[in-house]
Structure 1
Amino acid sequence: MSDLENEPTDRQPPAHLRPMPEDWRRALAVVAHPDDLEYGCSAAVAGWTDAGREVVYVLATRGEAGIDTLAPAVCGPLREREQRASAAVVGVGEVEFLDHKDGVIEYGTALRRDIAAAIRRHRPELVITLNHRDTWGGVAWNTPDHVAVGRATLDAASDAGNRWIFPELTEQGLEPWDGVRWVAVAGSSRPTHAVDARPGLERAVRSLLEHRAYIEALTDEEPEAYCRTFLTGGAEAAAERFGGVPAVTFELFPR
């Protein structure tokens, strides 16, 4: 069944969004590119780190194919610097890169193994990723990188706890971790849960703004205005389903 067949219709009004679980201490966010988390959920991350929770970022690529006017050898290090600065704005001090190739990430065992290894290293209770479906809703097509990393992350949350899948990880000293309790998908067209965006929204704007080189290549709009419009618009659009509170939405998969 296609994504379009599963989209809500006028006969099926969107359900009220429930608050995200709060009984956890460590989260691991796994996405394809620099800026994915800043477009997707950094206001929620800011609130979590304020509350003393630990959040680590893992990126499959360095975003080296993301700026047409910059060669990958120049673009990759630039976007890595922007990502580290962006993460720091919302209280994330640890950012890892898996060095898959931007634009041509392949879903498969190699990607699952790399993500499972990261889960075993960091031992999170909550894993976060970005929309793994073909579309963003309707006919807004998703990118292959997002789909591959999102699907692989959902699978790796189970792989990480099974010592007989990727036994080489155990040989490398990475013991199985079956403590992932939820995988939360940001940017989903089928959200089930949400986080109050208000405490972290200003920092989310500043965090996205750290990707200045990418944003300036993407749009002619003034960068801060662009970031603010995008993030506040998304948060306010979710408010109708979250008691009138501007929110960051997630589709939550319990385990």
Structure 2
Amino acid sequence: MTDPLITQLRPMPEDWRRALAVVAHPDDLEYGCSAAVAAWTDQGREIAYVLATRGEAGIDTLDPERCAALREREQRASAAVVGVSVVEFLDHKDGVIEYGTALRRDIAAAIRRHRPELVITLNHRDTWGGVAWNTPDHVAVGRATLDAAADAGNRWIFPELTEQGLESWNGVRWVAIAGSSRPTHAVDATAGLDRAVRSLLEHRTYIEALTEEAPETYARDFLTRTTTATGERFGGRPAVAFEVFGR
């Protein structure tokens, strides 16, 4: 039973058709919110993924060139499990992404291409709940995504995008932050949880380099633990949390 003293999370907005998820690395969405993505694609919503890097610096035992190709394959397979067929890479350099106008422009261009009502990204704050230090890549991409949602709608910012045929798009209504320590909304993860586990398991090479635990056990335990904890603030149902900024 849910403790009434715990601040409850609100359901995510439902009146949208297209979403764009923008993160730094392969696996960021699988750790963060793929159960919600699975539920949304089941409803017929269109979701595309944009990754700033190919995660080439993520596995110590693989040189970056080999690692990038492998992690791209794993990401495309992972996205397919939850109903996402469009996966794009911006080819910023893994581990040293710089927040700035170049990154904002690339993300604004993606928003103009895909014209989403909802934009999703990952925790842009310095820490994970004040417990663990966040990576510079997550911080840079999350912050740039929040800014690019506005940049995409202003034709006087990055006018070169208009010259390239990417007309301004001021239709982003919300930016939702997965993995935030200050969540405001949630999505029921019940129907999408098994696919979220399978989606995370597609990153098997990365997981095997990360832990000695069996990948199947690791993936299910991680996602079950996080969705169950969120569910304590969402009517007792397994859930994925988001901090939602309206526009």
TM-score, length basis structure 1? 0.95
Query: Which residue, 194, 213, 216 being the options, matches 1:202?
Result: 194
Aligned residue number for residue 138 of structure 1: 130
CA distance in 1, matches of 2:19, 2:71: 23
Q: Write the deviation string for residues 180-229 of structure 1: whole angstroms up to 9, x where unpaired.
A: 00000000000000000000000000000000000000000000000000
Please show how residues 98-177 of structure 1 align to structure 2 within 5 Å: 98-177=90-169
Q: Shift of the alpha carbon at 1:139?
A: 2.8
**Structure-1 separation of matches of 2:137 and 2:116:** 23
Match for 2:226 among 226, 234, 237? 234
Match of 1:252 among 215, 222, 244: 244
Amino acid in structure 2 at the alignment position of 1:142: N
Structure 1 SS opposite 2:133: coil
- 1:63-98 deviations in whole A, cap 9, x for unaligned? 000000000010000000000000000000000000
Counterpart residue identity of residue 136, structure 1:
W
Q: Percent identity?
A: 84
Once superposed, which parts of structure 1, at least 4 consecutive aligned residues long, lie more than 3 Å away? Answer: none
Q: Does 1:65 align with 2:35?
A: no
Counterpart position of 1:189: 181
Task: Return the TM-score normalized by structure 2.
Answer: 0.98
> What secondary structure sits across from 1:241 in the alignment?
coil
Q: Which amino acid aligns with 1:194?
A: A
Q: Letter of the aligned partner of 1:104 in structure 2?
A: V
**Runs of 5+ in structure 2 lacking a partner?**
none
Displacement of 1:172 in angstroms is 0.3
Cα distance in 2 for partners of 1:251, 1:105 equals 23
Partner SS for 2:148: helix
SS at match of 1:242: coil
Alpha-carbon RMSD: 0.6
Query: How far 1:239 sits from its partner (Å)?
Result: 1.2
Number of residue equivalences: 243
C-alpha offsets along residues 10-29 of structure 1, whole Å, 9 cap, x if unaligned? xxx65210000111000000
Q: Indicate the SS of the match to 2:224.
A: helix
Report Cα offsets for 1:106-147 as digits up to 9, x if no partner.
000000000000000000000000000000112311000000
Gaps of 5+ in 1: 1-12
Pick aligned residue for 2:21 from 11, 16, 29 = 29
SS at match of 1:198: coil
1:237 & 1:87 partners in 2: Cα distance?
24
Distance 1:188 1:128 in 2: 12
- Measured after TM superposition, the shift of residue 164 of structure 1 is 0.3
Q: Distance in 2 between matches of 1:151 and 1:69?
A: 30
Match of 1:218, as an amino acid? Answer: L
User: CA separation in 2, counterparts of 1:120 and 1:149?
Assistant: 17
